[in-house]
Each structure stands twice: as C-alpha cells, then as structure tokens.
Amino acid sequence: MMPDPTPSVPRLTDRPALERNRARALRLGPVDFLHRIVADEIQDRLAEVNRTFSAVAVVTGQPHFWRQAMPGATIVADGPALALEHGAHDLVIHAMALHWAEDPVGQIAQAARALRPDGLFVAAFPGGRSLHELRDALTRAEAEVTGGLSPRVLPMGEIRDLGGLLARAGLALPVADQFTQTVSYRNLFHLGGDLRAMGEGNALAGRLRHPTRRDVLLRAAALYAENHADPQDETRIRATFDLVFLTGWAPDASQQKPLRPGSARMPLAEALASTRKPE
C-alpha cells in the first residue's frame, strides 16, 4: 500500500479535555466576567442596527450564561458540526468559543448557512495578545527549569487574519475589530484559578499529560511578577484579554455593492482637487 502523500494536520484542541474543563468550571461556580463584557458589547452593537431580530441562535460552550443573556435564543453547542437549521435565523452569535475551533472558517460557514438573506452574524472571542504575559512567564520558566517547552497557552489569531475569515465563509460587508480588557490579579495562581473557573484551562492536544512541576510554576510566578506587574499596584500582576468581534451579513440583493473597477465618473486626482479649500 502506498503511503498517503498528504500529511495529517495536527489537532489543536483536545475536545474531551475542553468539555471536562467546562464541566469543572460549572462545579467551581463559573467566572463569567468576560462573557458579561462581551454580552453587553453585543447588545450595544445590536442597538445600533436598525433591525429587530426575532430568530436568534447563540453558538457557545457556556450555555448557562448565554441562555440568560439572550432569552428566547436557540442555544447551540460549539462542536465541529453545529446543530443549526439552514436559513432558520436572522441573527447568529458565536459567543466566546471560536478560539477553540479546529476549523474556524467551517464554524462561520455553518453559521452563515443558518442565516436568512440579510441576516447578521456576530462572533466574539479572545485573540490578539490575550494572555501574552502568562505565555511569556510560563515559556521562560519551563525553559529555564527543565530545558524544554510544551504547549500551555492557546495560540491566538491576529485581527488582520481573523477578519478575512468572514469573506471566506461567504458573508458580505465584513467588519473586524477588537478592544483590550486588562485585569489585575494577586499572582499567577489567582489568574490560573480564574482561567479554570472560566473553562479556559489548557485543553491543547499537544499539552503535557502530567501535572506541571511545582518549581516551574513558582519560577513562572516570580517571572510574571517581575516582568508584568500591574502599573497601578506593583504588588499585583496584570493579564491582557484582547476581545475580537467579527461581523458579517448573509448576502442579499438589497445590500450596498462596491462599484466595478473603472466605473468611476471622475478621475481621483480631479475629485481630490475639487475638495481643496481656496487659498
């Protein structure tokens, strides 16, 4: 038998581990402040749209929170195959789960197929430089103490790349933006406790399968405090969360279309000259 010439793509996420992390978060009493920030931001954005949405679906790994945040919405688990009916919704929200997806374009495309014409898709999730301080401290500590490295913090997408996912999934009028939320913690262990209670512990497929050595964690805590102290209180540390928002619309004939190349009636130089103020 000839070997398959196509190399297999390494998995990013250990889905059973992710589900265990989320179940543990519920038992701990979930920390949901990022979800609350995102829910408020989404409500503000929807208020600016001159539209009433009556058939809403929310794709998420935290159904308990979003069932309360979006009463009446259909709540859908963020598994590889989304339980969304074709053309059934005028608004689909992918809430704080896209960063764990093996195939983010596939997730958005499934959401797009569930939209009615001119329906709205909104995704919100951590990206950019989220938790870069934690990544730095853990990487330096592990290399220093053990001489090796292992995956510990989920790789985050950059907004310049994430915005392109919308068009690839077939959505029109794509918009991508982000804002940064900085949070103050007592120490690395306090931050780690919050991440576990968010269901955002390490669920990377390539992670170590045994507990991290205590000397690595202690060194990481020291490096974190030394290099990433909270500027407002240097006895504490700061943690960065860049929250990315993607917005796109299901194509519809009523939407604005860009002009065809070469269809302008006035040369650019002439148009610019006409806007100059008289001297």
Task: Write the CATH number for 106.
Answer: 3.40.50.150
Task: Please indicate, yes or no, if residue 21 is contained in any of the structural domains.
Answer: yes
pLDDT of residue 1 exceeding 50: no
Percent of the chain with pLDDT over 90: 81
Task: Please indicate, yes or no, if residue 169 is contained in any of the structural domains.
Answer: yes
| 131: nearest Cα among 71, 66, 188 | 188
Task: Please indicate, yes or no, if residue 135 is contained in any of the structural domains.
Answer: yes
Report the pLDDT value the prediction gives residue 43, as an integer from 0 to 100.
Answer: 96
pLDDT band at 3 (very low <50, low <70, confident <90, very high): very low
- DSSP code at position 148: -
Cα torsion angle, 251, 84, 156, 196, sign:
positive
Q: What is the mean pLDDT of residues 130-141?
A: 98
Task: Please indicate, yes or no, if residue 201 is contained in any of the structural domains.
Answer: yes
The DSSP string of 49-113 is: SS----SEEEEES-HHHHHHHSTTPEEEE-SSS----TT-EEEEEEES-GGG-S-HHHHHHHHHH
Which range among 19-23, 47-51, 183-187 shows the weakest confidence by mean pLDDT? 47-51
Report the pLDDT value the prediction gives residue 271, as an integer from 0 to 100.
Answer: 43
In contact, 166 and 108? CB cutoff 8 Å = yes
Which range among 6-15, 24-33, 55-64, 79-88 shows the weakest confidence by mean pLDDT? 6-15
Q: Where are the alpha helices (DSSP H) in the chain?
A: 15-28, 33-47, 63-69, 104-113, 132-146, 159-162, 164-168, 188-198, 214-227, 268-274
pLDDT of residue 268 exceeding 90: no
What pTM did the predictor assign?
Answer: 0.87
Q: Which helix (H) or strand (E) holds 266?
A: none
What is the total count of domains within the chain?
1
Task: Please indicate, yes or no, if residue 65 is contained in any of the structural domains.
Answer: yes
| 220: nearest Cα among 154, 157, 149, 156 | 149
Task: Please indicate, yes or no, if residue 274 is contained in any of the structural domains.
Answer: no
pLDDT of residue 279 exceeding 90: no
Q: Which residue has the tokens 């870069």?
A: 132
Q: What is the mean pLDDT of residues 223-246?
A: 97
Give the residue numbers spanning the domain of 92: 15-251
Per residue in 83-130, pLDDT (tens digit) is 999 999 999 999 999 999 999 999 999 999 999 999 999 999 999 999
Count Cα atoms within 13 angstroms, Cβ side, for 82: 31
pLDDT band at 252 (very low <50, low <70, confident <90, very high): confident
- DSSP code at position 13: B
| 98: nearest Cα among 67, 63, 124 | 124
| 122: nearest Cα among 47, 31, 72 | 47
pLDDT of residue 32 exceeding 90: yes
β-strand pairing of 89-95 with 172-185: unpaired
How far apart are the C-alpha atoms of 151 and 139, rounded to whole Å?
9
Report the pLDDT value the prediction gives residue 275, as an integer from 0 to 100.
Answer: 43
pLDDT of residue 7 exceeding 80: no
- Supply the mean pLDDT for the chain: 90
How far apart are the C-alpha atoms of 85 and 212, rounded to whole Å?
43
How far apart are the C-alpha atoms of 2 and 175, rounded to whole Å?
45
Task: Please indicate, yes or no, if residue 260 is contained in any of the structural domains.
Answer: no
Task: Please indicate, yes or no, if residue 110 is contained in any of the structural domains.
Answer: yes
